[in-house]
Structure 1
Amino acid sequence: MQNTNVSLNSSQRGFFQEIESLRGLAALAVVIEHCFWFFFEAKPGIFNTYPGVQPITHWLIHTVFNGRASVLLFFIMSGFVLGLQLKNETTSLLIGWPAYVVRRVLRIVPAMWVSVFVSYGVALLTGSPSNADIAMLVRTLFFWDFFLQAPLWSINIEMGCSLVFPLLYFISTRTGKITNLAIFVLLMAMIFIVPMPPWDLRVEFMRSLVLFHAGLIVGEYGTTWMTALGRLRRPLFWGALLGFGLIPQLWIFQSTFMFYDDRRWTLLAEIPFCFFILSYVVHERGQPGTALLRQAWARYLGKVSYSLFLFHWPVLVIVQFYLLTDMSPALSAIVQRYPLAVQGVLFAVVLSISLVVASASYRWVEKPFIELGRIFGRFVKAKSRKNLMPTEAGISVVKAH
C-alpha cells in the first residue's frame, strides 16, 4: 500500500493524532499491569515452571499489556515528538533552548506535583509507604526519589533526558547518517558502561537517551525505511508487537517474571521493537493500518494519558486499601481462589476513578500550564533574541565590510 502522507522532513509538520492515541494505549497498559500485579508475589517465568491456568492467564495479560515495555515506548515517542517541536523552531539552539526548557518544565512538573501531594496524602492515610515523611515528599517533588509514587521513576528519567535532548537534537540533525549511527551505537553502549548502583536516578537517564535518539531517527528516516519494506511492514509490525510484550519476561536465561535482575538487556532488546512500532504508526498515519488509533476512545485516552499515568497509582493504593484490607474470611477465600477475577474488578474500579481524576487534571492543570508554557516560551525566546541582537548586528556589519 502506497503511503500518501507528507514526509516528516517537509515543512508541513502537524499534530500526530495517532502518536497521542498510542501514548494513551501505553498508559492504559501500565494501569492494567499495576492492577494485575497484586496477589502475585512470585511471578514464574514460562521456561522454569508449569505454573497452572491462572498464572498462565496472568502471564498472558502481562504479555499483551506490558507496562515496563510501554514506558520504553513512551521514551521513544518523546524523542520523536520533541524532535518535531525543535524542528519547527526557526531560532538557534542558544535562543531556543531556554524557551524549550520553560515549556518542558511547565508541561511535566505541575501535574506531577499535584499527583505527588495526592500520593503523600494517600500515604499518610493508608501507611503505604510506611516511611513517608516530609523529606521523602521534598525529594519526590524535585526528582530525587520515587518511592512515594512508584511510576515516577520514569518521569524522573523523562525530565533528565528532556533537559539534554536539545543538544542531542542539535548534534544529530547536523551530522550525516554515519555519524548518527555512531552516536546511536555510543548511546547503546552507555546502557552497559555507565557505572552506578541500581536505580540511581541522578544518572539513570543516561541509559535511556538511546531511546530518545531512536525517536529522532524515526522522525528523520522512519518513513523512508517503512516505504522500502513494502508489503513486509505489516507482518513485521505484528511481529514487533509480539516481541515488544514478550522480551521483558521471556528471557530464557532468567528466572524472574519481569526480568528485574538485569534490566539493561531488556532495554537493549526492546529498542528495535519500539523503533519499528513507532515507525509503522508514523508511516501509516491516516491509513487503515492505524484505524484503531483514530477511534474516539483512543484519542480520549491519549489526551489524558499523562494524568492517567500519574494519578492511577494513588487511586490504586487507596482502592486496594479500602477494598482489600481487613477482609472477612469469606472474602479472603474468594480472593485466594479467584485472584484474576478480583484483579479484574480492582482494575475496573481503579480505571473508572482514575479517568475521572485524569480528565479533571488535564482540564484544570495540564492545559492551563501548557498554554502558560507557550506564552512564557515566546517571551523567553523574544528576550533571548533581543539580547543577542547587538552581536548579530555586529556580525552583519563585519560581513558588509
Structure 2
Amino acid sequence: MRIVALDSLRGLAALAVAIYHSILVFPELDPWLQPDAATGSAAALLLMVAPPSLLWAGREAVLLFFVLSGFVLSLALEPRPGAERPGWASFATKRAVRLLLPCTAVALLLAGLVPLVAPQPRAELSAWFNDAWAEPVTPMLIAGHAMLVLDEYVFNSPMWTLHYELRISLIFPLLVLLAALGSHVLLAAAAGAVLVCLVEMKFVGSGVLTTLLYLPHFALGAILARHRATLARRIGALGTWQTAALWLLCYVLLQLAGLLPGGPLVNDMIAGTGAALLLALVLGSARAQRLLLTPPLPWLGAISYSLYLVHVPVLLALVHLAPPPVPAWLPAVAAPLLAIPLAWLLYRTVERPAMRFGRQLGAWVEARSRRPGMVGLSR
C-alpha cells in the first residue's frame, strides 16, 4: 500500500534539508538555523519561528523521515490478503539493497569528484563546509560511505541518518510485533531502549547504542500505520476550529523545539511528536492530500531519496569550483535546484533498478527460507 501524499511530504522534507545545507555554508547565517533564545537577535529568532523557516528546517525534516519510515515499513510488513507476512530475511534483504545500492553509487561518484575538485579551505565560509572534504580519499572511507558503517560521513554528511535508518530497519519487525501487543507496549519498549542508550553513554561512552535514540520516532510511525484508519476517521470528523488547533499545535511542536531548554534529546522528541501529528493530519485531511498531490510534488517525492543523497556533493562541488569573482552565495542558492536533475538521473539509473532488484532478491530469499529445513528465517 502506497500513500502518494506522504511521498510528496518526503520530497518537501528532502528539499528542506537541501536548503538547510546551503544556508549552513555561511557562518553569519548560523543564527537562522540554531538561534539562542537568550542571546540571539530578534531578527534571527523571528526567522526561526516564522512560517518560511519550514523551508530550511533540516533537523525537523530528518525526524520526519524517521517517522515516515516507521509508517512505511509497517505497511510493508503487513500481511497481504491470501499471502503470508513477509519473513525477516526477505524484508532485511530488500531494505538493505534499497538503501545501499544508491549509497554505493554516490560513494563511487565522490571517489572521483573530491580529488577532481581538489577542495581548498575558505576562511569566510563555515567550519561545516571546510571540514566536509578535508580528508584524503581512501578506499576504506569510500567503502564506509557505501556500506553505511562509519561513525562520521566526512564526504556526504546526510548519510548519518541513513546509518541509523539501516540499523533500525533490521530490527523493525520486532517493533511491529511489539505494536501488535499494544501501542503502550511499543512506546514503553522504545523509551526503555533510549534509557539503556543514555546509561551506556554516561558510564561506558562507546556510542554503540546511539541508534536507539531514534527508536521512538520509528515507533511513532509504526503506531500511526497500525491505527491509520481510526486516526483518519477521527481527524476527518473534527470541526474546523478543532482541526485548525491541531495544525497550530503541529506547527508549534515542529518550530519551537529548538528554542526550548530541554536539550537535544528532548527537542528531538518534541519535534518527532510534531512530525507524527503532521502525518496524522495529512491522513485525516482530504484537502491536505489533494494539495500534496499537486504536480510536481509526487515526482519530487519519488526522487526524494536520491535528492537527499546527492544535494551535498552538488553543493560542495559548485561552491568549490566557482571562480573567485562569483560570490559563494550564488552557487549555494543554485545547488538545491541543480541537484534535482542529478537526483532524477540517480533515481532512474540506480535507485529504481535497486528497488526492483531488492524485490527480486527478497522474493528469492523468501522462497529459500520457506523450504523444508530452513528454520528461523521466515519469521
Same fold (TM over 0.5): yes
1:379 is the counterpart of 2:378: no
1:70-85 equivalence runs, <5 A = 70-85=61-76
The residue identity in structure 2 corresponding to 1:130 is A
Structure 1 position 161, deviation (Å): 0.6
Offset of 1:178 from its aligned partner? 4.2
Q: Specify whether residues 390 and 244 from structure 1 end up closer, same or farther in structure 2 by C-alpha distance, changes over 3 A only.
A: closer
Q: What whole-Å deviation, never above 9, does each CA across 1:280-339 have from its counterpart, x for those lacking one? A: 12223xx1133221011111110000000000010000011122x6x34xx6xxx5xxxx
User: Which segment is superposed worse, 75-84 or 229-238?
Assistant: 229-238
Tell me the secondary structure at the aligned position of residue 270 of structure 1.
helix
Moved more, 199-208 or 217-226: 199-208
Q: Give the aligned residue type for 2:212.
A: M
- The 3-state SS of whatever aligns with 2:372 is helix
1:206 matched residue in structure 2: 212
Are the structure 2 counterparts of residues 276 and 188 from structure 1 closer, same or farther at C-alpha, using a change threshold of 3 Å?
farther
**What does residue range 116-131 of structure 1 map to in structure 2 within 5 Å?**
116-124=107-115, 125-127=117-119, 128-131=132-135
The alignment's C-alpha RMSD in Å is 2.9
Greater Cα offset, 64-73 or 27-36: 64-73
On the 8 A contact 2:101/2:354 being kept in 1, the answer is: yes
Between the aligned partners of 1:199 and 1:24, the Cα distance in structure 2 is 36
Q: Percent identity?
A: 24
Q: When the two structures are superposed, what TM-score results if normalisation uses the length of structure 2?
A: 0.83
How far off its partner does 1:141 sit?
Answer: 2.3
Asked whether 1:318 is paired with 2:317, we answer yes
Residue 19 of structure 1 corresponds to: 6
Counterpart for residue 28 of structure 1:
15
CA distance in 2, matches of 1:16, 1:346: 35
The residue number in structure 1 matching 2:145 is: 140
- Report the TM-score, using the length of structure 1 for normalisation: 0.78
Give the match for residue 107 of structure 1: 98
Q: Is the 8 A contact 1:63 1:246 kept in 2?
A: no
Residue equivalent to 2:24: 37
| Matched pairs, number | 350
Residues 378-387 or 26-35, more deviating: 378-387
Q: Which residue of 1 aligns with 2:354?
A: 369
Q: How far does residue 23 in structure 1 lie from its aligned partner after superposition?
A: 0.5
* Distance in 2 between residues matched to 1:105 and 1:389, nearest whole Å: 21
SS at match of 1:87: coil
Q: Distance in 2 between matches of 1:361 and 1:32?
A: 20
Return the letter of the residue paired with 1:386.
R
User: Residue 83 of structure 1 contacts residue 216 of structure 1 at CA under 8 Å; is this kept in 2?
Assistant: yes
Instruction: Provide the C-alpha distance between the structure 1 equivalents of 2:315 and 2:203, rounded to a whole number of angstroms.
Output: 29
Cα offsets for 1:153-212 (capped at 9, x unmatched): 001010011111112212322x13443343344345456444279997743211111111
Q: Aligned equivalents of 2:160 and 2:63: distance in 1?
A: 12
Q: For residue 153 of structure 1, what is the amino acid of its counterpart?
A: W
Kept in 2, the 8 Å contact 1:100–1:377? The answer is: yes
Once the two structures are superposed, residues 61-103 of structure 1 have per-residue CA deviations (whole angstroms, 9 ceiling, x without a partner) of 545430111001100100100000101354356xx11111111
Deviations, residues 221-254 of structure 1 (Å, cap 9, x unaligned): 2442454452223431233124213313x12x48
The alignment status of 1:162 with 2:169, answered yes or no, reads yes
Quote how far apart the aligned CAs of 1:279 are. 1.2
Determine if contact 2:77/2:85 at 8 Å carries over to the other structure.
no
Larger Rg belongs to: 1
Aligned equivalents of 1:155 and 1:296: distance in 2?
A: 27
C-alpha change, 1:26 and 1:140, in structure 2 (3 Å) is: same
**Aligned twin of 1:153:** 160
84, 93, 112: which one pairs with 1:91? Answer: 84
Pairing partner for 2:255 from 207, 228, 245: 245
